[in-house]
Amino acid sequence: MRIAVIDTGAGNLASVLRAFRRAAGEAGLAAAIDVTTRPEDVAAADRVVLPGQGAFAATRHGLDALPGMEEALREAVERRGRPFLGICVGMQLMAERGLEHGSHPGLGWIRGEIAPMDPVGPDASPLPLPQMGWNGLDLAAPSHPLLAGVAPGEHAYFVHSYALRGGAAGELLASAGYGGPVCAMVGRDNLAGTQFHVEKSGGLGLRMLGNFLRWSP
C-alpha cells in the first residue's frame, strides 16, 4: 500500500509521518508512507493525505505552487476514487472557499466556507482564540468507518481560529463544543477530513489513522 502525504510547505509533516507509521505498525499493515511534492507520486498512491496548519491562504498557495499537483489530486480522488484524508487546514481546503486573509478558493469537495470563529462562553464573554487543546467529540455519524472504535465524548486535539460554516448536514461526521458546536470532521464517499490534529490526538488519532488505512469506500 502506498500513501502519498502532500507537502504544501504548511503541514506538520514529521508528526503526521510518525503517527501514520505507528498506526500501520499497530494494524499490521505493510504501508509505504511518503511525503511528496510530485504529482506522479499522488497518481501512483493508493491513498492520499493533505495535512495543513496555519492559514488557509498559505496552504492554498502552497498547493498552487506545485505544478500539476491539483490536477493529480483531482484525478486520484475524484475520478479514481482513492481514499482521501484532509487534516486541519487540509480539511479546510476541502470546502468551497476560505475567508482567512481574503477570499481563496477551496477544492469544492464539501459544502460551506471556512470563516472566522466567534465563540462566547455561558456568560456571553468571548472565549480565547485559537481554540487550542482537547475537546470531546459529538459523533453525528458514529457508523462511519473512520470512527470505528471511537466513543462519543472521546477527546481530540484542536488548534484553530477558523471553522467550517454553512456545511451540509449530511457531510458533518462529528462536532465539538467551543462556544457552540464547531465542525470537527467531515466526509462523503471516499473523502474525509478532520479539523482536529488527528496525528496529535493520542490513541483516538491512531485508531482513526488505522481505520483510514483499512478503509475501502
Domain ranges of the chain: 2-214
Residue 99: all three cell numbers together: 475567508
Q: Is 88 noted as a catalytic residue in this protein?
A: yes
Task: Calculate the average pLDDT of the chain.
Answer: 95
> Is the model more confident about 194 or about 100?
194
The domain 2-214 belongs to what CATH superfamily? Class I glutamine amidotransferase (GATase) domain (3.40.50.880)
pLDDT tens-digit series, residues 39-77: 999 999 999 999 988 899 999 999 999 999 999 999 999
pLDDT tens-digit series, residues 100-147: 889 999 999 999 999 999 999 898 899 999 999 999 999 999 999 999
Q: Is 199 noted as a catalytic residue in this protein?
A: yes
Cβ neighbours of residue 41 under 8 Å, at least 6 residues apart? Answer: 4, 34
Tell me: pLDDT of 11 over 80.
Answer: no
Which of the residues 100, 113, 171, 199 is marked catalytic? 199
Q: Is 183 noted as a catalytic residue in this protein?
A: no
Which of the residues 88, 100, 113, 171 is marked catalytic? 88
Considering the entire predicted model, what is its pTM? 0.96
Percent share of the chain, pLDDT over 70: 100
Distance CA 8, CA 58 (A): 9
Maximum separation of any 2 CA atoms in the chain, in Å: 53
Distance CA 112, CA 167 (A): 4
Tally Cβ neighbours within 10 Å of residue 17.
Answer: 18
* Alpha-helix residue ranges (DSSP H) falling in the chain: 13-27, 39-44, 56-64, 69-74, 89-92, 202-214
Which of the residues 160, 171, 183, 197 is marked catalytic? 197
∠ CA 206-207-210 to the nearest 5 degrees? 85
